[in-house]
Amino acid sequence: MREKTLLKETMGSIKKHKWGIISSLIVAAALFYGGFQLGAVQSPPAAQEPQVEVSSDGPLGVSSTLLWDAIDIVKNKYIHIDDVKDEDFLYGTIRGAVNALGDPYTTFLNPSDAKKFDEDIRGNFGGIGAEIGKRDGQLIVVSPLKDNPAERVGLKAGDIIVKVDDTLMADFTVEEAVKIIRGEEGTVVTLLIMREEWNEAKEFEITRATVIIPTLEWEMIASPGQEDKNIVYIQLYTFNANASSLFRDAVTEALFSGTKGVILDLRNNSGGFLDVAINLAGWFIDKGDTVTEERFRSGESRALVARGNAALRNLPVVVLVNGGSASASEILAGALRDLRGAKLVGEKTFGKGSVQELETLKDGSTLKISTAEWLTPAGHSIDKEGLEPDIEVALEEPAEGEEFEDAQLKKAIEVITPMLGQAAPPPLVIEYVDLRSATSSE
């Protein structure tokens, strides 16, 4: 496992504050919270034989007789038709319609899969500790979670998952892949991984474990040539319900310690509660300023605005991002760049900026469908595009026996140093919205 080394010549001795507030997520892949809304969800009645009525004038403006002609041919000619249930045709048709959209975040689960997925989320099971997503039809690691099995064996953001054990992942949805990757704690799963700079794929054996996710770490660091620690470095791992209060505590102590600047590290933070991202933005921008805009298919939009006290309004800010920064991370980073001129340092973000609604159908199957997209305050679409860093810095693996150097953090310190002391922070007034009971907006 990598050891993060803070350069002694630039930072001096370090006082680190770490909270063990943990999300007991035991998932191999947590779905992206920063754009998910529960739609009109009804409790499913007892399971019943699925039925469907289709007119000749289909909802897509084409004749549905073509569909039924194809089904009739299959029923009349397929050699093993006696092994196929009628509902398999129905669910297969729905999956075909959903897959035709080409949207990895719009998915369909039949009643049995939906029930199992819900039971898995609520139950005890093991995972590898990595956020999983799809890009260009490939299953990828969005971000390995800190101090979890995937990170310990060396998985990285952007790794392509070619195979899980003996199963190729090419045509699998994220949910289907998660079902295979998860399993009993202590058991081993083998992932065949392809990385951009490799000539051939490599296997990683990962022992499943209970996945624990830290929320936030912070420390005061010194700019080059300074003895006093005058920069607060905040590493946010997830936008969970604890993040707002922990961020408040960190900022409060940092301000009383005389911080002159903020480095916010959102690398490998794949999202969380949208409300938390909005709340954290309120520390940096004026109350009422637009943090993000939600745009619907009709062209109508809805602005989500900051509601904090802007206690960090006058302090220079640098944001660290990479390919594992997604969803709520991208919303916050985009707002700070557009409204505060914050510099983004690192690598291009993932590009997950769509809103999903979850619909439960009357037979117990579920349909998760993208209904809107997020825009930054300047109107930049996050979805599929991501955010390009203002200053691109790649991380290189250290040679064997050498200590890892965080070149991205080093560059962030270099960028923020000339800005320190240019403006004094406003009077410290701590206002805080308690989001511990917030609703997930995945």
Residues noted as catalytic? 327, 338, 352
338: helix, strand or coil? helix
Terminal Cα-to-Cα distance of the chain (whole angstroms): 30
Cβ neighbours, 10 Å, residue 83: 8
Q: What's the one-letter identity of residue 366?
A: T
Reference 236, options 281, 192, 185, 189; nearest CA is 281
- What is d(CA 380, CA 336) in angstroms, rounded to the nearest whole number? 13
CA 241, 242, 243, 246: dihedral to nearest 10 degrees? Answer: 160
User: Are the C-beta atoms of 323 and 348 separated by less than 8 Å?
Assistant: yes
Tokens 């291009």 found at? 348
Reference 176, options 187, 184, 168, 188; nearest CA is 168
Q: How many residues does the chain have?
A: 442
User: Are the C-beta atoms of 131 and 270 separated by less than 8 Å?
Assistant: yes
β-strands 261-265, 231-236 pairing: parallel
